[in-house]
Amino acid sequence: MASLRDIQTRITSTKKTKQITNAMQMVSASKLNKAQDNATSFVPYSKKIQEMVHHIAGRADENAHPMLTHREVKKTAYFVITSDRGLAGPFNSGILRKVYRTIQENHQSSDEYTVIVIGRIGRDFFRQRNIPIMNEIIGLSDQPSFSDIQDLTSEAVQLFIDEEIDELNIVYNHFVSAISQEVVSTKLLPLTEINQPGEQKLESMYEFEPNETEILHTLLPQYAESLIYGALLDSKASEHASRMTAMQNATDNANELIDDLSLQYNRARQAEITQEITEIVSGAAAQE
């Protein structure tokens, strides 16, 4: 049985841990609010460029741009968004398990796929398993700007245009609510789903100069890059929410442990006092 000193030491240690997890929970809650604001404010731009691209691409020929063309898939790239730090519950494990299982099921050779990764956790995971990494970014801020990832997104899109990869999938955590995040895996390139008849209502609103094809060649890369950036903002909100929930659970567990240890301490102390009283009474009786 643990001594009173050992129990008291564990109580003190757990209380200090609780202070840390509680502070981390509050910090994550603050970061979550900012991340949600960032993701929300990006939506109008994302919707407008999507509307324009859908309209113009719907009027264009399938071969008007390489990003609209479906071709035989010889090499697939996975754009994976993870975090730089742990203590975020299942945030990273769900993404990495999804990507790893997809690679195992769909590819026979490392020549058939590559990975572009954001986040130290993902980078280290793929390195340990000898999964080829084409490019990486670590150390992004908690509230990233587009310029932070512009080079990476431009390179990813250009790889597809240059036919070095034939398909680009993005895997990240979609923010559902503060207590719920969902792993999403979606095909980013080619943009075959937008090559449908566009909405005619834009014709009376816009004039295209020099022409729709030239604008399409400019808009499509920007559109693909905006999808990646939007996914990153969504992922950041999910990360902060997952870490907030994980730290809240840790704080609750610390409270339960402190209560159990305090009860154990009181019982041990009571037993010790009872033993001392018994010894005193026995000593007194022996002297009679």
pLDDT value at position 205? 60
**Mean pLDDT of all residues in 76-102:** 94
Residue 15, in any domain of the structure: no
At CA 192, angle to CA 189 and CA 195, rounded to 5? 135
Q: For the chain, how many structural domains are there in total?
A: 1
Six token digits for residue 222: 């920007």
* Contacts for 47 with CB less than 8 Å, ≥ 6 apart: none
pLDDT value at position 195? 52
| CATH number where 180 lies | 3.40.1380.10
**Res. 199: pLDDT tops 50:** no
Q: What span, in angstroms and rounded, lies between the C-alpha atoms of 74 and 113?
A: 8
Residue 106, in any domain of the structure: yes
**Res. 58: pLDDT tops 80:** no
Residue 16, in any domain of the structure: no
Residue 262, in any domain of the structure: no
| Whole-structure pTM value | 0.84
Q: Confidence class of residue 135 from pLDDT cuts 50, 70 and 90?
A: very high
**Percent of the chain predicted with pLDDT > 70:** 88
Residue 182, in any domain of the structure: yes
Residue 239, in any domain of the structure: yes
**φ/ψ (deg, to 5) at 184:** -120, 130
Q: Confidence class of residue 204 from pLDDT cuts 50, 70 and 90?
A: very low
Where helices occur in the chain by DSSP H, the ranges are 4-59, 91-106, 120-128, 146-161, 212-287
The pLDDT tens digits for 24-56 are 999 999 999 999 999 999 988 888 888 878 777
Q: Confidence class of residue 200 from pLDDT cuts 50, 70 and 90?
A: very low
Q: What span, in angstroms and rounded, lies between the C-alpha atoms of 115 and 118?
A: 10
Identity of the amino acid at 218:
T
Q: In which domain, by residue range, is 104 found?
A: 23-246
* Range with top average pLDDT, 51-65, 138-152, 260-274: 138-152
Residue 284, in any domain of the structure: no
Six token digits for residue 240: 């902060």
Residue 3, in any domain of the structure: no
